[in-house]
Amino acid sequence: MIPASKKIRLILDLRQGGVLDTTLLAAMEKVPRDYFVPEAFRDRAYEDTALPISHGQTISQPLIVARMLAALDLNDRVKVLEIGTGSGYQTMILSHLCRRVYTIERHRPLLREAEARFEEMGRHNITTRAGDGALGWPEQRPFTHIVVCAAAPDIPPTLVEQLDIGGVMVVPVGDERREQRIFKVTRMETQIDVEDIGPVRFLPLVAGMPETDKLSRHAKG
């Protein structure tokens, strides 16, 4: 059992980090982060730090999650696309903040684990897909909001095209050898408006599916 004081401490840390949106903080308080990390790291679940999960991926630092979601300026009427489900932690927070979440994960085993968590926790406004996040989810466009949980080399035009006019995307941009920045991208009628939110460090946005997944599908086929 994680002491309640650790959860409260994290929320206080987020406030001190500049996150003042009470609806967002309430959603993050509802979601038990310890449920989304491997057992070996459960005692560190409420530290404001990124932690490893399976398949070489990480669960993001809570402050970064909060800043990115705050930049989206969500409400309970919007339709959000999330690129990179991971363990499902951010997805679950989003499910408390918007009408519908569409989330894509390229690692099928990770996605199955996340789906089991969503089901067990009774969240039914989440739709999942195993696939290439760089391609987005064109069948469901337009989205009012998109959040990308991996660093793209540049603002992804394919994802911009899937935004509604006036829609907002929050995306880390940069590679592992130089500074990455979080950009808030708003799609206008004939152009995009870009706001730099600040530095960040994410794993790269990788196009395509993992080789192990391709081999597995070929063997079954």
**Mean pLDDT in runs of 10 for the chain (221 residues)?**
82 96 96 95 95 93 97 96 98 98 96 97 96 96 97 96 98 86 96 95 83 46 41
C-alpha distance from residue 46 to each of 16, 56, 123 (Å): 15, 21, 22
d(CA 158, CA 122): 32
Reported as type and span, the H/E element at residue 148 is strand 143-148
Strand extents, DSSP E, 44-136: 51-52, 58-59, 79-83, 100-105, 126-130
Q: Half-sphere exposure of 55 toward its Cβ, with a 13 Å CA cutoff? A: 19
Beta strand 180-187 pairing with 126-130 = unpaired
Active site residue 216: no
Q: Angle CA(89)–CA(64)–CA(74) in degrees, nearest 5?
A: 70
CATH annotation of 4-220: 3.40.50.150
Contact of 67 with 197, CB cutoff 8 Å: yes
Provide the pLDDT for residue 213.
57
SS3 92: helix
Exposure string for 109-142, b = 16+ CB within 10 A, e = fewer: ebbebbbebbeebebeebebbbbebbebbeeebb
Q: State whether residue 188 is helix, strand or coil.
A: coil
pLDDT for res 221: 41
pTM comes to: 0.91
Contact indicator for 155, 192 with CB cutoff of 8 Å: yes
User: Residue 19 to residues 11, 22, 190: CA-CA distances in angstroms?
Assistant: 9, 8, 32
**pLDDT score at 219:** 38
Phi, psi of 144 (to 5 degrees): -75, -30
Where do the structural domains in the chain lie, given as residue ranges?
A: 4-220
Q: Which of 5, 60, 87, 95 is catalytic?
A: 60
- How much is the pLDDT for 216? 41
